[in-house]
Structure 1
Amino acid sequence: MSGHYPYGGPPAAPPPENKGGTALRTVLIVAAMAGVVTVVAGLLIVLNSPQEYGLPSNRDQLGLQAQPDGKASGQPEQALFQAAPDVPPPLPQITPAPAMLPSTPVKIIIKRLGINAPIKSVGLAKDGTIEVPPADNPNLAGWYRNMSTPGEKGPAVLLGHKDTRTRSAVFSRLPEIKNGDTIEIKRQDKTTAVFTVGGVEQASKKTFPTQRVYGDQANAQLHLITCGGAYDRTIGHYTDNVIVYATMTSSYRS
């Protein structure tokens, strides 16, 4: 065979064997195997005595706290306010602000829930119940004009739909509100009344807490009402009401 290589030079020779490197690799492999054995032995000790190492055994299940809307947010679900109908509304852990003079409300803002809606004055319907805002404008809250204005001494009552036949409405997220959240009501006199939530109640419409919602109060309060509970298709209504109780804690010029 001639010394001619049509595809270039001769193939490269394999590197010479490094006997020192081979010995080193052997030592490293043995050491690695010993380390694996040590780790496995340690795990067996921990699993046989889990309590000593702060680990739950198969019998000790870690209970998850209740979460709003079934989401594991890491925060426990807030307990709803529960009391007899004649018990006063819950107050926030903050000193109420002095009441202001009457002024018609024009807008409600709840920043954490993304609510920013105009307010319409409503009265009584023919059947004696409070009127609700028209369903063709879902982003509209109703202020019951036969009660106090927001910021005035006494309870101011605002109502809003939870949803319509086709979409969610202004108070669809109201059940998500938390104690300590703030609600802003912009008024016609260019002032904004700021209310702090003290409690949230879900009450059956058959046992509505009339005195707590509409009864006279010593300071300026805001009560928001929407539908809640299950939807009864036979009557076309929800079974419950969600009621938010808030107290005015500050105000500012708009």
Structure 2
Amino acid sequence: MSGYYPYGGGEAPAPPPPPEDKGGTALKTVLIGAAIAGVVTVVAGMLIVFNSPAEYGLAGNDRDTLALETQPKTGQPEQALFQAPANVPPPLPQITPAPPMLPSTPVKIVIKRLGINAPIKSVGLAKDGSIEVPPSNNANLAGWYRNMSTPGEVGPAVILGHKDTATRAAVFARLPEIKNGDTIEVKRQDKTTAVFTVGGVEQASKKTFPTQRVYGAQDNAQLHLITCGGTYNRSTGHYTDNVIVYATMTSSYRS
């Protein structure tokens, strides 16, 4: 396409012819000769290597290989979820339980590795007989079921929390990431803190909830955390499963 001047009329003039080549032929001859010499040198070197492969570390039986088991790992395996019949007791951590404490209402739960630091509200039973859940308008709020033990007292203490709300992640959104051996701290009204060690994590269908394992009597102080898991069912507005964390009190201190 022909061009146009920016500020005038008419077509732009044709570009001037290239200058006459002076000495170009001689230069081309020199470059071609150098290229041919380079190719000859490379081919000669390859022939020498191929005739004596062992001397250059290319013999098949002499090459070092990295064993499969020493290859770098791309990721760590996920922790296996606890699985057992509903009448099997909760899993215990590999540590001796601490002696139970006197009852005291919980006020805050802290799981440092997951970034959880949340106040606790006392909850009871709803009209349909199910346990109340904390109000969804406060995403960072957990609920302690007051009809069971207090955290640190002998028996199971149960704390519930939402996984998410209609608009954002909630207090127990990261609970499925918890690992065996992680610690959970529950600060109590009497200025003491009960420290629990995780012994197992279970994902159970809400249709086959392990009632006895979660709420059954225990000889030591336990903490059971519950949130939603599995697939969200849009027709019912609920998740299909529950994620349950089983932890045992292994120490305590005064706040």
Tell me if both proteins adopt one fold, taking TM over 0.5 as the criterion: yes
User: Residues of 2 paired with 1:76 and 1:193: CA distance?
Assistant: 30
Provide the residue aligned with 1:45 in structure 2: 60
Task: Quote the Cα distance in structure 1 between the aligned partners of 2:54 and 2:150.
Answer: 71
Provide the secondary structure at the position in 2 that maps to 1:124: coil
Pairwise CA distance, 1:75: 1.8
Question: What CA distance in whole angstroms lies between the structure 2 residues aligned with 1:55 and 1:113?
Answer: 37
Q: Secondary structure at the match of 2:199?
A: strand
Alpha-carbon distance, 1:53 to partner: 3.3
**Residue of structure 2 in register with 1:10 after alignment:** none
Q: Residues of 2 paired with 1:247 and 1:182: CA distance?
A: 9
1:206 paired with 2:207, answer yes
Question: Could you tell me how far apart the structure 1 residues matched to 2:89 and 2:189 are?
Answer: 29
Amino acid at match of 2:239: Y
Structure 1 136/43 Cα, relative in aligned 2: closer, same or farther at 3 Å? farther
In the other structure, the counterpart of 2:15 is none
Determine the C-alpha separation between the residues in 2 that align with 1:44 and 1:78: 44
Percent of residue pairs bearing the same amino acid type: 80
Residue 194 of structure 1 aligns with which residue? Answer: 195
Q: Tell me how far apart the structure 1 counterparts of residues 239 and 124 of structure 2 sit (CA, whole Å).
A: 21
| Distance of 1:96 and 1:202 partners within structure 2 | 24
What is the aligned partner in structure 2 of residue 95 from structure 1?
A: 96
Please show how residues 174-253 of structure 1 align to structure 2 within 5 Å. Answer: 174-253=175-254
- Equivalent pairs, count: 209
2:102 is paired with a residue whose SS is coil
Deviation of residue 213 (structure 1)? 0.1
Scaled by the length of structure 2, the TM-score of the pair is 0.76
Q: Deviations over 1:33-62 (max 9, x none)?
A: 58x93599634626xx88x73456xxxxx8
TM-score by length of 1: 0.76
Distance 2:127 2:67 in 1: 65
Gaps of 5+ in 2: 1-40
Q: Where does residue 111 of structure 1 map in the other structure? A: 112
CA distance in 2, matches of 1:236, 1:85: 26
Match of 1:171 in 2: 172
Aligned partner of residue 137 in structure 2, secondary structure:
coil
What aligned pairs does 1:135-174 form with structure 2 within 5 A after superposition? 135-174=136-175
The separation in 2 between residues aligned to 1:250 and 1:39, in whole angstroms, is 65
**Deviations 1:93-125 (CA, angstroms, capped at 9, x unpaired):** 000000000000000000000000000000000
Q: Which runs of structure 1 show a deviation greater than 4 angstroms over 4 or more consecutive aligned residues?
A: 38-41
Runs of 5+ unmatched residues, structure 1: 1-28, 57-61, 65-71
Where 2:57 maps in the other structure, the secondary structure is: helix
**Equivalents in 2 of 1:75, 1:251: separation in Å?**
32
Q: Which secondary structure does the structure 2 equivalent of 1:53 belong to?
A: coil
3-state SS in 1 of match to 2:144: strand
Distance 1:39 1:173, change over 3 A: farther
User: Residue 130 of structure 2 aligns with which residue?
Assistant: 129
Cα deviation, 1:113-159, whole Å, max 9, x if unaligned, reads 00000000000000000000000000000000000000000000000
Greater Cα radius of gyration, structure 1 or 2:
2
Answering whether residue 101 of structure 2 is matched by residue 86 of structure 1, we say no
